[in-house]
Structure 1
Amino acid sequence: MSLNVQEIKGFRAADKSYKKYDSRGLLLLVKPNGSKLWYFKYRFGGKEKKLPIGAFPEVSLSQARQLRDRARLKVSDGIDPMLERKRKKARIKLGAENTFEVIANKYIDEKMVPEGRAEATLRKARWFLELLKPAIGNMPINDVDPQLMLAALKKLEAKGNLETAKKCRSFASRVFRYGAALGQCHTDPTSILQGALVTPKARHYAAILEPEKLGGLLRAIDDFECYPATKFALKIAPHVFVRPGELRHGEWHEIDWDKATWTIPEGKMKARRAHVVPLSRQVLELFRELRSITGSKGYIFPAFHTRQRPMSENTINAAFRRMGFTKDEVTAHGLRSTASTMLNESGLWHPDAIERALAHGDSNAIRGVYNRGNYWDERVKMAQWWSDYLDELRQRCMLQAPPSV
């Protein structure tokens, strides 16, 4: 005989637990402490099982019957509702453990680090994670949807950090795709957000574009007194077209003295491809002078206090400021624009050779390989011509300078 609500309310606690049956496997367990618990009793795989449904009155009689009926349908479909519930709890527990922060740290430590990413790149990745943690760090990665992700990025935009928001979206996208590969999330919620973010203005690095001013800069570098590694970094940077981070992370073992080349490994390159820099006679001589001072092991441009780390990312720009050049006149990165502009204006070199020298690469990987072969000889000649041209500009400036009193 089926139970009714008044009957259930009247069940009193006894010295021992006792059961009251409703129908179709639903039963109520009355415990000595007075609590009343619903169970669905069923057989699966030849074994009798009891599925907890909830406590009365929180789960009413009608609700308990509905939950029983759903469980009965699962059994008829060959699904064990008890096992299904355990698996669901395990997934929830696993999801709670696999938060965005956890997966992001795995991405950094188990993918980026083994790939040999530059230390500066790793620091940026960890910084992006710190920026995203307050909004989504503790959330199971599979629960982060596009709206939550957008809200996190909009907070950065509200502070005026448009470029940072863009880069955080890119970092988060890589984390979500890594999480999907691990089976921890199903989609990348950032994939539809690109059009929802404010496009930052293109960043232009201050650069000297007039030959006379460039000659003045080169002469100022010659006259500037500072730590030897800084001095040689200032002297070499205008010649080699590399990015400031690639310059300061250079190591002596990357220099091939016989071939007159500097091979920067892919882990240090923005395009994630190794880049070979042809070295002019002037640059080789500067490297030799520096080697006689710092030794031939470790970083080419070590930090002031320790040779175990490269010089800081602000060293060259700080030196320019002490020399009297403002940030609107010249920057370390702007030296690349200087070289690009003047080499193109000379009309002597193929634009693709200049692009290859700047390590801008080619979106077509196969074409990029062929271009490297086609333009290498031209790049070697161009490197020597450029160093000779810099010497000429420096000399002109010295001749035009008024005699010292």
Structure 2
Amino acid sequence: MAKLVVSLTDTKIKAEIAAHKKAPDKIKKLSDGSGLYLFLDKKGGTYWRFDYVRPITKKRATLSIGVYPEITLASARKYRDEYREMLAENKDPSIEKKQEEENAKNALSNTFEHVAREFMKTENLAPSTVSRNAFSYQHLFDALGKRPIHEISARELLTVCQIYEKQGKFEAARRMRSKASQVFKYAIVLGLCDRNVAADIQGILKTGQRKHHSAIVDPDALGQLLLKIDQYDNRGSIITCYVLRILPHVFVRPGELRTAKWSDIDLENAVWSYTPAKTENSTGTQLIVPLSKQVLDLFKELHVITGNSEYCFANHWGKTRILSDSTINKSLKSLGFKNGETTGHGFRATARTLLDEVLKFPIERIEQQLGHRVRDMHGRAYNRTKYLDERVIMMQAWSDYLDSLKEKALKQ
């Protein structure tokens, strides 16, 4: 006749533990039946264990469950019942437990954030682009970062993106979807997920109405702005002073000027040649910026300060060592211009308008200098050196015109 096992109770367990502490010279097992027991060791440890026979080898095995009282009697019984169900299905609880732990470990290393950060290491981007992308990644990390990437659904990703869309941040939402798509593609290559769920929501997010960068096109107002920029010395860093003075003359994208490298500046021939970030991954076409006498003098002065650095506008603080993305607009605002009156990017529109309407230069040369693709009468795009002599004349005329506006403002 099989030995009858009386089930444990918390009261009985506590009494047995108290008695064992008085004479802990021997180990003790408190059985609850069906393989579950509480193991009391000689050092006062109390551990739940489960004895069973392996389904294939038929050898006896023991599985640790946890420590009492952290694992209560009721919880220990649930584990036992779960293990017995596995045995009934011819599964080994030890093997199943190890597989579960391995899956949990893999899930931690295969979270969206972990995979995304590994992908970010493979990107070769300009510092300004890295800084801009950081916001998109952080928004995604806050919502989905800890989730295993293979468990994230298209519905989840769409919900996160639409939160920003509802706030009117259409570009941010679309950029988040785009960056997520790149991460999922990377994960698919590594075998961490089967599909790119970001592709499933492509075209669903709204496109916000494009806002034009504010620009000053009134000559008198532009003269006042240039005069205030010259008076900026006592307000900001000397590096910021130079970027503000040069930008109106060259009218490139502010990010391209902030990240300008001395290796691209030819002071002897008064030329700045670089590949804009917008065309780097597509056409790879270089933009040549002829430097007027005024701009050349400013760059020569700046070279005395930052000539030993990689970047022309090298900063002495911050991780990237270059001026931040918001420096130019914040500086213009500090000069007394309200939000929306003018922006660093607006100098491009200013130059395009006044070079055409006031100085009467051909719109094709202006567009070409702006870095836009311009085609000839046969539909062929002009190469980067086409009409360079004309553009040299145009850029010098533009700087002379800006100086005349500033002189006029000084007399008023």
Q: Does 1:386 align with 2:398?
A: no
Residue in structure 2 matching 1:120, options 99, 121, 128: 128
Given candidates 333, 340, 359, the residue that maps to 1:321 is 333
- Residue number among 232, 246, 265 corresponding to 2:256 in the alignment: 246
Counterpart position of 2:21: none
Distance 2:313 2:154 in 1: 44
Residue correspondence of structure 1 range 183-194 to structure 2 within 5 A: 183-194=191-202
Select the residue among 41, 54, 58 that pairs with 2:56.
41
| Cα offsets for 1:343-372 (capped at 9, x unmatched) | 455664354x5444334569xxxxx9x736
- Of 203, 206, 215, the match for 1:207: 215
Q: Quick check: 1:240–1:383 contact (8 Å CA) kept in 2?
A: no
Q: Does the 8 Å CA contact 2:161/2:177 hold for their aligned counterparts?
A: yes
The letter for the 2-side match of 1:329 is E
Q: SS in structure 2 opposite 1:376?
A: coil
Corresponding residue SS for 1:41 = coil
- For 1:166, the equivalent position in structure 2 comes to 174
SS of 2:107's equivalent? helix
Which residue number in structure 2 is paired with residue 98 of structure 1?
A: 110
Distance 1:168 1:289, change over 3 A: same
Give the aligned residue type for 2:404: Q
Distance 2:315 2:394 in 1: 31
**Identity %, equivalent residues:** 28
- Per-residue CA deviations over 1:94-145 (Å, capped at 9, x if unaligned) read 234210000111111x212xx2x22332233333222122321111111111
Residue pairs, 1:293-308, within 5 angstroms: 294-298=305-309, 299-303=311-315
Structure 1 counterpart of 2:287, from 269, 276, 297: 276
Cα RMSD of the aligned pairs, angstroms, is: 4.4
Partner of 2:242: 232
Q: Structure 1 288/354 Cα, relative in aligned 2: closer, same or farther at 3 Å?
A: same
Is 1:334 paired with 2:346? Answer: yes
Q: 1:124 to 1:143 in 2, by over 3 A?
A: same
Relative to 1, partners in 2 of residues 1:132 and 1:11: Cα closer, same or farther, differing over 3 Å?
farther
Q: What residue ranges of structure 2 are gaps of 5+ in the alignment?
A: 7-33, 39-48, 64-77
Cα distance between partner residues in 1 of 2:230 and 2:118: 47
Structure 1 residues 250 and 85, CA gap change in structure 2 (3 angstroms): same
Partners in 2 of 1:198 and 1:212 — Cα distance?
39
Do the aligned partners of residues 193 and 223 (structure 1) sit closer, same or farther apart at CA in structure 2, a change above 3 Å counting? same
8 Å contact 2:292–2:392 — kept in the other structure? Answer: no
Tell me the distance in 1 between the aligned counterparts of 2:353 and 2:107.
52
Residues 105, 89 of structure 1: alpha-carbon distance in 2 compared, 3 angstrom cutoff: same
Conserved? CA contact 1:225–1:231, under 8 Å: yes
Distance 1:144 1:289 in 2: 54
Post-superposition offset of 1:376: 2.0
SS in 2 for 1:288: helix
Q: Report Cα offsets for 1:235-288 as digits up to 9, x if no partner.
A: 21012232212212223222122443223356xx24434633322332222211
Q: Does the residue aligned with 1:300 lie in a helix, a strand or coil?
A: coil
TM-score (norm 1): 0.70
What is the CA-CA distance between 1:173 and the residue it aligns to?
1.4
Alignment check: 8 A CA contact 1:317 1:332 kept: yes
Equivalent-residue separation in structure 2 for 1:347 and 1:13 (angstroms): 103
Task: Give the Cα–Cα distance (whole angstroms) in 1 for the partners of residues 315 and 83 of structure 2.
Answer: 68
Q: What is the aligned counterpart of 2:303 among 291, 303, 318?
A: 291
* 1:259–1:177 distance in 2 versus 1, CA, 3 Å: farther
Q: Runs of 4+ in structure 1 displaced over 4 angstroms?
A: 10-14, 29-40, 54-61, 82-92, 304-308, 343-347, 353-356, 401-404
Corresponding position of 1:178: 186
| Aligned counterparts of 1:288 and 1:257: Cα–Cα separation in 2 | 7
State the partner residue of 2:72. Answer: none
Aligned equivalents of 1:154, 1:234: Cα separation in 2: 37
- TM-score, normalising length from structure 2? 0.69
Moved more, 256-265 or 201-210: 256-265
Change (3 A) 1:212 1:261: same
Secondary structure of 1:382's counterpart equals helix
1:215 shift after superposition: 3.5
Give the whole-Å Cα distance in 2 for the aligned partners of 1:384 and 1:12. Answer: 106
Q: Comparing 316-325 with 297-306, which one deviates more in the overlay?
A: 297-306
Gap regions ≥5 residues in structure 1 = 1-9, 15-28, 72-81, 363-367
Give the Å deviation of 1:308: 8.1
Secondary structure of the 2:387 match is helix
Residue deviations 1:166-211 (CA, integer Å, cap 9, x gap): 2211211111112122221222211122333232221321112234
**In structure 2, what is the equivalent of residue 349 of structure 1?**
362
C-alpha deviation, 1:233, in angstroms:
1.5
